Chain A
């Protein structure tokens, strides 16, 4: 009934979809799987009319169709529940559900009374406890997600797209969702279900379509697949053939200086209960799917967010930094993956960008000689192999990888005790990435403690001594030594191995 063939989508140089395809029939639930950045969400957006593909065809009932807007998508009988929600927070629950299809009379006036009955029934069916006239922004994230699904189902679609909706849902809400999905299945609604939770797909889905790097690797019935098979298609590696990590030395706490000791940290809704330890000269990796609380955790340590519960000990002292500036004074450093937003001054010169840290560290009125700054920048450029024309050129003339090296250099020059990196190699090419890894390893050998969060498993496996895997605002697993395998990392990222209890005991 429904098919997508050879879909291609390029965003300038980045290829999001590269010949992806899928097909499904009425009453079928298709799991769309793949790791971060494999193009699942883009596929959903193509169908929802938010992204126009460069190439490929979409076929509905044997007829090729084009979807250029949300309106056209709806007209074809497609409804979407988005991962990042498409609700309007400043509007009421009812207005959100009826948005774009309000019942009107002959002079165009909306019949609110008729609508409210429909909305109440819908809320009841989804077991959502809220008033139809409550503002959406006053609801919890999980209720909002249920509402997002309810809104899509209310359109009575032929094809329902669910993009990672269970990521924000609770156990009981997922049960409700599955009940409704089964009801819809009986009514003959086709569904595409995107998720990272592997246990769910075996529960609810009929077929699985696995993507990697914008390509469709396979589409086959779910009962012909097992978890190993799924992980193989997602990562391209057989779990048993997964490469061993390079840093094999076993880890012992004895005789090492404890730098950071975090216990039961909480900041709702993203960080629920996180404990971790970091020792001197160690590189700690933080892994996990996107948005499992990694960024929030790092910002908590840095004092950019307020701690709601739990404690942080830094160098044996209980701390709670009021601001990142205070944290930096005490010897913390922070490198963000969001270079553009958080770190680079685009219009200022490379030299100025390199020396900002130094300048900030000294007294406000202390004199900095131009010669000293210039020689410092020159050394940094050589040491970190930053490719540039002149240190006087604006930072925006550098490539992404070099910009990131520049930020790394800036912080290392400050000689922090603990360096926090939030997805530092996002959008950085492989060569620059390796160079950054080398720099970090050198610093760790000299005694710096480094905590690095990354969404890429390979990066963590290469660089980190130990990896804490975050899932749903909690540490789902800690990988070290021989445990540090790609297979176990992927599994714990999906929240499958709950070895946390044994770890604690």
Chain B
């Protein structure tokens, strides 16, 4: 029994998600220690943490899919604002129901994804530049639709988003599980393996009868759906519209994926993105409580919130460094393994030859 667990752990250690997982656990322990375990583990505190950060977490999932298929999207953050603006404005201006508004929001997000796919996959523009310029295009569209922050949504919806069901289960957790299930389905289909093939080597995937363009489009569409859902969560969280929010989610989601152990194309898994994203969230939370603690401990101590960001970003940078160390270790282990196999073969081979002669 213990042997089985040990074996499973050894296998997990070799997966790409291991770095992200260790960082996540480390951050978790740190957070619990600083905030106090009882408080940290309380359902209410967990509810707040998840509800506030769910949009980001879902965006990271979308970004992970793109990284797996070998592309990326910097404008993914501002796309949240687009969904937010579309949902709020269609309700306010056209008088549609909340649900219809959501459908419009998701459609807008899907359209943007298709547009990006056309520029990246058909016109072969570098994904980084194409999506970076897309940031400004989307920002323009947002401001055209909604010049200044405004609007509201019905109380019943945003209250539900924050709610703790039966006093223990956050409603946002249900949304998160719903999104995870969507991914789980796609992962089990042919798309789930083809995405790796296309991400790692387009030519070989093509030779195996896969259409890299079609697989990339699928990835962009799933990402579009996820961004749509994340945008709706953001709308429920803020209960109003803002055309220029969440832009930094683009670069932040990217760093979350890299910290989690995703490579550019065909290496890693969704777990990498999720651990990386959660690490980022927990570190920010920890640093916030760390400074609160300092305020209490040292009378008269006061700093701007820039210091919060400074400390958390230094930690994130250290996390990034750690991915290099572990990646190097994995590569070295791999190389030694192959060299050993070869030497073994050579000896076998030599032995056979000798007996023949």
Contact = CB atoms under 8 A, between A and B. Distances in A.
Interface of A: 48-50, 69-71, 73-75, 80, 82, 85-91, 95, 98-102, 104, 108-110, 137-140, 142-143, 170-172, 268-269, 272, 308
A89 B200 contact: yes
Contacts of A308: 339
A68 to B, nearest CB: 11
Given A108-B190, A171-B352, A90 B206 contact: no
A229 B145 CA distance: 78
Interface string B200-226: 110111111111000000000000000
Interface stretch (B53-61, B130-138, B286-294, B341-349): B341-349
A317 to B, nearest CB: 28
Contact of A88 (B205, B339, B352, B353): B205
Interface residues of B, number: 35
Contact of B207 (A48, A109, A140, A268): A48
Given A88-B204, A269-B342, A95 B189 contact: no
B297 interface: no
A105 to B, nearest CB: 10
B79 to A, nearest CB: 27
A104 B206 contact: no
A373 B89 CA distance: 68
A154 to B, nearest CB: 11
Contacts of B201: 86, 88-89
Given A89-B201, A99-B193, A99-B208, 17 more contacts: A48-B207, A50-B203, A73-B209, A86-B204, A88-B196, A88-B204, A90-B266, A91-B196, A99-B194, A99-B205, A100-B194, A100-B208, A104-B190, A110-B188, A110-B192, A171-B353, A268-B342
B298 interface: no
A110 B190 contact: yes
B338 to A, nearest CB: 6
Nearest to A268: B342
A140 B352 contact: no
A50 B190 contact: no
22 contacts: A48-B207, A50-B207, A74-B209, A80-B207, A85-B204, A88-B196, A88-B204, A88-B205, A91-B197, A98-B193, A99-B193, A102-B190, A102-B193, A104-B189, A104-B190, A109-B189, A110-B189, A138-B334, A142-B345, A268-B339, A268-B342, A272-B346
Highest count of chain B CB atoms <10 Å: which of A69, A82, A88, A142? A88
A70 B206 contact: yes
Given A86-B207, A172-B349, A268-B343, A99 B197 contact: yes
A146 B205 CA distance: 19
A313 B286 CA distance: 59
Nearest to B192: A110
B345 to A, nearest CB: 6
A70 B189 contact: no
A74 B345 CA distance: 34
A73 B334 CA distance: 34
B206 A69 contact: yes
Contacts of A90: 196, 200, 263, 266-267
B196 A95 contact: yes
B301 interface: no
Highest count of chain B CB atoms <10 Å: which of A100, A140, A172? A100
Contacts of A48: 207
B206 A109 contact: no
B200 A110 contact: no
A98 B189 CA distance: 13
Contact of B185 (A95, A101, A109): A109
Nearest to A73: B209
Contacts of A85: 204
Contact of B188 (A70, A87, A88, A109): A109
B342 A137 contact: no
Given A91-B193, A170-B345, A49 B207 contact: yes
